[in-house]
Amino acid sequence: MRAPLQIAVLGPGCRNCRALEKATRRALDELGLDAEISHVTDYAAIAALGVLATPGLEVDGQVVLSGRVPSVAEVKDLLGAVEAE
């Protein structure tokens, strides 16, 4: 069995960050994937990851999205691509 995905929502905790987390949780539920979700709110740490626009999404140490709130379907595609690696 695979270890849970390590997911980080990158951003200050604004409305868009919360929307990204909600879409991510829904995508995880629909895919039946296990994950641990954390939040990175420190701008220096976010910038060090190469994210210049929030919200961002990091999955297993890889930034997969930044600067917008994706649809649930898009998050599912992103998670599926990471799972396939």
pLDDT digit of tens for each residue in the chain (85 aa)?
678 999 999 999 999 999 999 999 999 999 999 999 999 999 999 999 999 999 999 999 999 999 999 999 999 999 988 877 7
pTM, 2 dp: 0.93
Query: 6, 14, 34, 45: which one is catalytic?
Result: 14
**Six-digit token pair at 54?**
């929030």
Q: Which of 77, 76, 78, 56 is nearest to 66 (CA)?
A: 56
CB under 8 Å to 5, separation ≥6 — which residues? 28, 33, 34, 35, 36, 59, 60, 79, 82, 83
Spatial separation of the C-alpha atoms in residues 36 and 59, rounded to whole Å: 10
| CATH fold label, 5-84 | Glutaredoxin (3.40.30)
Q: Of the listed 5, 7, 8, 17, which one is catalytic?
A: 17
Known catalytic residue: 14? yes
